[in-house]
Structure 1
Amino acid sequence: MLEYSVVANRVDAHGSLARTKDAEITLDTDVKGRLDAFNPAELLLAAVAACMIKGIERIAPVNRFSYRGVEVRLRGLRQDSPPFMAKITYELIIDTDEDDRKLDLMHHNVRKYGTIFNTVSAATKLEGTILRKAKTV
């Protein structure tokens, strides 16, 4: 089994820092919020996006899937009482010339083999679509 560790510390009433390996990220833990850091809900959405992109990085060489770029757009819907992320939707946009069959297979594999994707989807409704990036002229 793989094991992960993060240490987070409160800096002041406006924010905290989370650290792992040689990386750190500023956390929005200010009650009033702050624009220069991710709040906990945004971190959850970012974790899902990172999982999906990392999955593509892993799957593409195995399936000989060629692509130029990936964008993930996510929206979380939070209910108030009790506080809960009731639904997360996404658009997974891939800049590729691969056919629809390979695009659908990529989507299937991203959903099937993503650790964070599977964890979050077990806890809340997580659904979305995969799209080919529109060609610009």
Structure 2
Amino acid sequence: MLEYRVFARRIDNHGSEATTKDARIVLDTDMVGRPDAFNPAEMLLASLAACILKGTERVIPILGFELRGIEVALHGVRQDSPPKMVRIVYEILVDTNEPDARLDLLHRNLRKYGTIYNTLAGATELAGTVRRKA
């Protein structure tokens, strides 16, 4: 079993920070919001994006997948009562000459082996596509 540790603290009424290892992230915990930091819902979406990108790094050498670049766009829908993320839709844009069947294989691997992906898929509606960058 792998274990992870993150420490978070309130800086003031405008923000907080989270740290792990030598990394630090400013968090938007201001009640009116702030444009220079991720709020908790955006952090959740960013975590899924990071999972997809890290999963790509893991599987491309295994699959022998030729990749020039990859981008992930996410859209989350939150309900108010009770507050929760009810749907997340993502689009993975891959810059590659690989055939469509190989894009599908990449997507299957990302869905099957992503820690954050599988955690969220068990808790909310999660749907997405992979397409070739034009």
Distance in 1 of aligned mates of 2:66 and 2:5: 33
1:29 maps onto 2:29 in alignment: yes
Q: Secondary structure at the match of 1:116?
A: helix
1:91 counterpart residue number? 91
Q: Secondary structure at the match of 2:66?
A: coil
2:65 counterpart residue number? 65
Q: Tell me how far 1:102 sits from its aligned partner.
A: 0.6
Q: Tell me how far 1:82 sits from its aligned partner.
A: 0.7
Distance in 2 of aligned mates of 1:99 and 1:64: 13
Gaps of 5+ in 1: none
Distance in 2 of aligned mates of 1:30 and 1:121: 29
Percent identity between the two aligned chains: 62
Distance in 1 of aligned mates of 2:33 and 2:121: 27
Distance in 2 of aligned mates of 1:82 and 1:115: 25
Distance in 2 of aligned mates of 1:39 and 1:121: 21
2:112 counterpart residue number? 112
Give the 4+ runs in structure 1 shifted more than 3 A: none
Gaps of 5+ in 2: none
Distance in 1 of aligned mates of 2:53 and 2:118: 14
Question: Normalization by structure 2: what TM-score?
Answer: 0.99
Q: Secondary structure at the match of 1:37?
A: coil
1:82 counterpart residue number? 82
Distance in 1 of aligned mates of 2:53 and 2:66: 14
Q: Tell me how far 1:14 sits from its aligned partner.
A: 0.3
Distance in 1 of aligned mates of 2:67 and 2:76: 27
Distance in 2 of aligned mates of 1:22 and 1:133: 34
Q: Which amino acid aligns with 1:81?
A: S
Distance in 2 of aligned mates of 1:65 and 1:26: 35
Distance in 2 of aligned mates of 1:121 and 1:40: 18
1:2 maps onto 2:27 in alignment: no
1:47 counterpart residue number? 47
Tell me the alpha carbon deviations over residues 38-83 of structure 1, each in whole angstroms, 9 at most, x when there is no partner: 0000000000000001001000000000101110000000011110
